[in-house]
Structure 1
Amino acid sequence: MTTPSRLSLVFILLSVLVHADANGNGGFSVHLIHRDFSPNSPYFNSLETHHDRVQTAIRRSISRTNGAFKRSSSSVASSPTNANQNGNITTTLNAIGGDYLMNISIGTPPRQLLVSTDTGSSIAWVQCKPCQDCYEQNEPVFDPRESSSYKSIHCLTPVCFELSESMSCENKLCKYDIGYGDKSSSIGHLAFETLTFDSTSGRPVKIPQFAIGCGHSNEGFKDAYSNGMVGLGTGTGKLSLISQLGAKIDSKFSYCLVDADIGSSNKFNFGSHAEITGKDVVSTPFITVEEGLYYLTLKAVSVNDNRIPFKSKYESDGQEGNIAIDSGTTLTLLPEEMYSDIESEVKKATNSDGFISSETGLLCFKADKNTKFPNITFHFTGADVKLTDENSFLSTPDGLCLNCRSAGDRHVLYGNLAQMDFLVEYDLKAKKISFKPTDCSKHK
């Protein structure tokens, strides 16, 4: 995230009226917009080639994690939720925008805003007037005075205490203070407001009494098209999107990300629309540790029939919750000790040493029609996720490049390229994530 498009989501739900398109059962779907590849994105440049866009996505992926999380020798799973020296909550990923955007509307009458969205953060906020220190955005900043449904939250209101370390009182109003790994931050007041989604059916999904941050001081951001952050993570108590929607969506959501070469829309699903079934479904438990992130347990990675066990100087053998799944990051980042073995096996399988791209740092190959690439499988607890060549290798100007690299001392992440053409369901009640191979361009 160095072109910050930050996005975190916070919503609260006291009485939620969801005008959904699923016979009132809380099931609905919305469009996700890939910031580089979708013609519906304001960042889309028709003069760029596909390879230009790939390079941009890779650079952002690297920036999103650089310096975002410096690990100590202690286990990730034993780390507390991050708080900076000022006492505010600090997310572990940088506030540079994730790969996906979403249109939401807030207020009455509804004001449409474009926000960044990903599973690596939790609190939702938008820039608000009066702006003490706002970043420049192309659209007018949201003005609460123009909305009849905007309601400030008193600092003694129970929802304010969900902010824990990041909460304070200012003129009796609930004040939040959120920091990101790249030292950017958003400070403002928490308020109840009406949130509206434009569902894929064309029928609006309206959520009144949604707790959202109204940001008056937003530093370190340089994203003119993004009006704020909407996160889908697990942190910040009952303020996360899924927590606020709660029983209305049976605490479930899913997404289906299309291959970047295809122009169709990505889908984000809630409630009954999120459920996946069938013989090809595999599931693995998740745990929640750091602010906003979902952690899986990676047992090993296979390159063809050669199984490489998870190993890292930061985690002990068998450590639960050793890799975070992140829809906002393109690349997969693995521990150096493990990645070096994977790289060696890939070179053996392709019968080539390849080369390291000076542009991206990825292992690349000048492939021809005779080059045979290996099958790569991620072995999570209870779930073997078999990747396709498109999940494992990325077409770049340098050639075909392995879609993972060493994490160094940064977060170990399972990125979105490895998730493309999988229906990925998050079930927060069962505390599991499920995968099903799917042609996402045809997913309804």
Structure 2
Amino acid sequence: MNEKSTLAIIDKHGPCSQDKAIESPSHDEILRQDQARADSIHSMLSRSSNIPKTKLQSKPGISPGAGKYQVSVGFGSPKTQLSLVFDVVSQLTWIQCQPCAGYCYDQNDPIFDPSKSSSYTYVSCPTGICNRVSSQGMRQGCSSSSICLYGDTKSNTTYSIGYLSKETLTLTSSGVFQGFLFGCGQRNNLITDGGAAGILGLGRGWFSLVSQTANTYHKVFSYCLPSKAGSNGYLNFGDANLPSSIKFTPMSSSFDGTRYYGLDMVDIGVGGERLSIDRSVFSNSGTIIDSASLITRLPPAAYKRVRQAFLAKMTRYPTAPAMEPLGTCFDFSGYSSVSIPTITMYFDGGVEMPIDARGILYFNKVSQVCVAISHTEDDNDVAIVGNFQQKGYEIVYDDANGRIGFAPGRCG
């Protein structure tokens, strides 16, 4: 039987955010965090192994990525409702847990107390499950009381270290999973600005929520991100009632065995004209799609062509200084309306993804409006399709069949 569960997506700085006292970060800070996330992804992928190992100790620092979008899920019996950043680049779900023996950052929800849950258990070591920790690219250890320890680190400044545990996870009233494996973090850092309690890991891998719920949801999930303040977003689990308008592209085999969802980008179009970029420009670096990266980052050669084509169609408007890392900017002072060219991404299988108009320009101020696309530092750095360009689409991840789909017009 096909099952489907739906969670509301909360923009941490939108009107549905739990904490109205949180001040939205500046544009410079948002872009700085996004650059840090891209840097950490590139660092992880550039190492010799596909999934790097991490140290079981670190220091508090700045989180890579703005981690903007959150969902609320329940942990324990009785359940404690927690807001988590959902992340398709992370496979392990982790939350901050009492007694916070090392370090816990500030969060909006009360920190989860496993001693108050009748369904909480920890994973012992040595066991087969504990041994999976190191095989999935995390640091594995064993406490003096024979409890399995994990260390999940995206970089040396974003991490969770604690006890590998099992608990009842409640997604919806019909989506309840007993014995869900997760990280009960004792030393953590995740500066999300929105006070999230941890990460909901939707990446590929043995510990991923996608893998752990495969019997119910068949390794399929999708989301629509809020396109503007006050609009709705949702995260769906399951393959029931997928949109008929969806177009699927095969996942790139280059990322098999990793946590990443890879795509084979083949070209880009500007203003309705394909640029005929050599396919090797994209195949040399590879491309992933990410829910928590903001802007799309292209190989330098591809970005140069996009920038030139966009500027050629915008000669009526004066340019503006760059807003790092965004380098194609315009001054719209004195214009009551503007006309901008379309941008389309082309993927393997003949799939076209015209970027929604709301996903093309990043507004800092009327005198500095930038194309929300940047370039990687190196031709070999993986390209990233960011969430800014995913606006207006339902993005479908079908890991069982090795494909990713795009359905336009499904989001508010």
Do the two structures share a fold, i.e. TM-score over 0.5?
Answer: yes
Q: Which residue of 1 aligns with 2:153?
A: 179
The answer to whether 1:61 aligns with 2:37 is no
Q: Which residue of 2 aligns with 1:415?
A: 386
Q: Which residue of 2 aligns with 1:137?
A: 106
Q: Which residue of 2 aligns with 1:147?
A: 117
Higher relative contact order (CA 8 A, sep 6+): 1
* Structure 1 letter corresponding to 2:182: I
Which deviates more from structure 2 when the two are superposed, residues 302-311 or residues 319-328?
Answer: 302-311
Paired residue secondary structure (1:350): coil
How much does 1:390 deviate?
A: 1.7
CA contact (8 A) 1:65 1:94 kept: no
Paired residue secondary structure (1:64): helix
Q: Which residue of 1 aligns with 2:234?
A: 267
Deviations 1:300-326 (A, max 9, x none): 111121414257xxxx55627711101
Paired residue secondary structure (1:61): helix
Paired residue secondary structure (2:100): coil
Deviations 1:241-282 (A, max 9, x none): 100000211210001123124x1221101113462323x634
Q: How does 1:16-35 map to 2 (within 5 A)?
A: 25-35=2-12
How much does 1:80 deviate?
A: 1.8
Paired residue secondary structure (2:175): strand
Q: Which residue of 2 aligns with 1:427?
A: 398
Q: How does 1:8-407 map to 2 (within 5 A)?
A: 25-36=2-13, 38-42=14-18, 57-66=30-39, 68-70=41-43, 80-84=50-54, 86=55, 95-138=64-107, 139-165=109-135, 166-170=139-143, 171-197=145-171, 199=172, 203=173, 205-219=175-189, 221=191, 225-235=195-205, 238-261=206-229, 263-273=230-240, 275-278=242-245, 281-287=247-253, 288-289=255-256, 291-304=258-271, 305-309=273-277, 319=283, 322-351=286-315, 352=317, 354-358=319-323, 361-367=326-332, 368=335, 371-382=338-349, 383-397=351-365, 398-407=367-376
Paired residue secondary structure (1:361): coil
* Structure 1 letter corresponding to 2:116: E
User: Structure 1: how far apart are the matches of 2:23 and 2:161?
Assistant: 37
User: Structure 2: how far apart are the matches of 1:391 and 1:413?
Assistant: 15
**How much is the aligned-residue C-alpha RMSD, in angstroms?**
3.0
User: Structure 1: how far apart are the matches of 2:282 and 2:328?
Assistant: 28
* Structure 2 letter corresponding to 1:301: I
User: Structure 1: how far apart are the matches of 2:286 and 2:344?
Assistant: 17
Paired residue secondary structure (2:313): helix
User: Structure 1: how far apart are the matches of 2:209 and 2:241?
Assistant: 15
Query: Structure 1 residues 253, 300: CA separation in 2 closer, same or farther (over 3 Å shift)?
Result: same
Paired residue secondary structure (2:165): strand
How much does 1:386 deviate?
A: 1.3
Query: Structure 1 residues 361, 228: CA separation in 2 closer, same or farther (over 3 Å shift)?
Result: same
User: Structure 1: how far apart are the matches of 2:224 and 2:74?
Assistant: 22
Deviations 1:67-98 (A, max 9, x none): 552489x7x9x8521224x489xxxx955441
Deviations 1:417-438 (A, max 9, x none): 1111111111111100010111
TM-score (norm 2): 0.85
Q: Which residue of 2 aligns with 1:21?
A: none
How much does 1:180 deviate?
A: 1.7
User: Structure 2: how far apart are the matches of 1:254 and 1:307?
Assistant: 30
User: Structure 2: how far apart are the matches of 1:71 and 1:223?
Assistant: 24
CA contact (8 A) 2:264 2:347 kept: yes
Identity between Structure 1 and Structure 2 (%)? 25
Stretches of structure 2 that go unaligned for 5 or more consecutive residues are: none
Paired residue secondary structure (1:253): strand
Deviations 1:359-398 (A, max 9, x none): 6634222233564321211111111111232222223314
How much does 1:56 deviate?
A: 5.5
* Structure 1 letter corresponding to 2:286: N
Query: Structure 1 residues 291, 178: CA separation in 2 closer, same or farther (over 3 Å shift)?
Result: farther
**Total equivalences in the alignment:** 394
Stretches of structure 1 that go unaligned for 5 or more consecutive residues are: 1-23
Query: Structure 1 residues 192, 95: CA separation in 2 closer, same or farther (over 3 Å shift)?
Result: farther
* Structure 2 letter corresponding to 1:247: N
* Structure 2 letter corresponding to 1:396: N
User: Structure 1: how far apart are the matches of 2:66 and 2:358?
Assistant: 23
* Structure 2 letter corresponding to 1:436: A
User: Structure 1: how far apart are the matches of 2:238 and 2:192?
Assistant: 34
How much does 1:240 deviate?
A: 0.5
User: Structure 1: how far apart are the matches of 2:320 and 2:265?
Assistant: 27
* Structure 2 letter corresponding to 1:63: A
CA contact (8 A) 1:25 1:272 kept: yes
* Structure 1 letter corresponding to 2:251: P
User: Structure 2: how far apart are the matches of 1:43 and 1:289?
Assistant: 39
CA contact (8 A) 2:286 2:382 kept: no
User: Structure 1: how far apart are the matches of 2:190 and 2:26?
Assistant: 24
Paired residue secondary structure (1:164): helix
Query: Structure 1 residues 274, 123: CA separation in 2 closer, same or farther (over 3 Å shift)?
Result: farther
How much does 1:408 deviate?
A: 1.2
